[in-house]
Amino acid sequence: MTKVSVIIPNYNHAHYLVQRIDSVLAQTVRNIEVLILDDASTDESMSVISRYATDPRVRIIPGSVNSGSPFSQWNRGVRDARSEYVWIAESDDFADPRLLEVLVARLDANPRTVLAYCDSFRVNADGEVVEVYKDYYRKLDPQHWIKDFESAGRDEVEQYLLRKNTIPNASAVLFRRSAYEQAGGATTELRLCGDWLMWIKMLMLGHLVYVAQPLNYFRSHGGNVRTATGDFVLHKEQYCILKYVVDHFGVDDHYLNNALNFIAAGWVCSLFELRLSVTRNNYCDVYRVARLVDSHLGRRIVKCIFLHYPWKVLREIRG
């Protein structure tokens, strides 16, 4: 049996595909299959992908109609996978040749571990390193991601993933195919946060391992889904995730309150700190949208605004 199924879901990333696919085929773990799924790209993607058709490890799965969701591609890839472990290698990222070697060893060492992930370098469109993702984690906990660790999945969810997606890039993750299937696959209704909810659902089934060494290169560019989508969509989906966890798994009140306050603060930051046009109307609009999501969240947002930005609120109310 093949050890790892590598799924490369692609849509219009022709410019990055050679580096992506070459970094997969160069892995020191050789016992892999590579499924390249193209979601009806309109650029030269299929021309690039076709160059790899003669490699016996590669299966090319073209799509004639765009699915509208990267998470539909995830589910399709996992359905077609034949291996014990799955690596979703996003088409605009690339990897150190030892990524699979390190993460496979972590999963092999403990059958309770449902997923393992490593730290990432964030790179720009040209592949130049901008930062290490430890900076992304530090606001939540300055110590937790400094070195390798293993933790119970539920503990990781309650303490961290309820507030923030601390597994920010699928390309850094190796997971058990059986855990993905048992968790019911990725939710395609969420535009931005389907990966975040997927990690949570899997972690409720077992343990997590983190490797502090950055072996993944996460590319940020203007074509990323998150780059092109408003922050308020992110905050709304974040609340949908919290509600899903509460409804399906239950959450201690302490962690629930922490998460609600974190979401409320995010709405406020998006309203004021990101230099949006601050007017009385859009202040009311944000509050109304928040109330549509949840009345309790709306009240927390108002409280947060008055606590941190009272002068701006008063100025707008006075007109």
pLDDT of residue 51: 97
pLDDT tens per residue, range 113-134: 999 999 999 999 999 999 887 7
In a domain, 225, yes or no: no
**Do 112 and 251 belong together in one domain?**
no
**63 assigned to some structural domain:** yes
So what's the pLDDT on residue 260? 76
Q: Are residues 27 and 128 in the same domain?
A: yes
* Pair 282, 198 in one domain: no
* Domain co-membership, 212 together with 242: no
CB 86 within 8 A of CB 78: yes
173 lies in some domain: yes
Which tens digits make up the pLDDT trace of 144-170?
A: 999 999 999 999 999 999 989 999 999
* Distance (Å, whole) CA 72 – CA 305: 37
pTM for this model (two decimals):
0.86
Write the secondary structure of 130-141 as one string of H (helix), E (strand) and C (coil). EEECHHHHHCCC
Query: Which residue, of 219, 250, 267, is where some domain finishes?
Result: 219
**Would you give the distance in Å from CA 189 to the centre of its chain?**
15
**Distinct helix (H) and strand (E) counts, the chain:** 13, 10
Which of 28-32, 94-98, 201-205, 237-241 is the least confident region? Answer: 237-241
Confidence at residue 262, expressed as pLDDT on a 0 to 100 scale: 78
Q: What is the DSSP letter of 158?
A: I
For residue range 210-231, what is the model confidence (pLDDT) as tens digits? 999 999 999 987 655 544 445 6
State the residue range of the domain holding 293: 231-318
Query: Is residue 226 situated within a structural domain?
Result: no
**How many domains in the chain?**
2
Residues 123, 40 within the same domain: yes
Residue 319: its pLDDT value, please? 39
Q: Averaged over 78-86, what is the pLDDT?
A: 97
Is pLDDT above 90 for 137? no
Higher-confidence position of 11 and 265: 11
The CATH number given to whatever domain includes residue 26 is 3.90.550.10
Q: What is the pLDDT of residue 302?
A: 59
Band (242; pLDDT cuts 50, 70, 90): confident
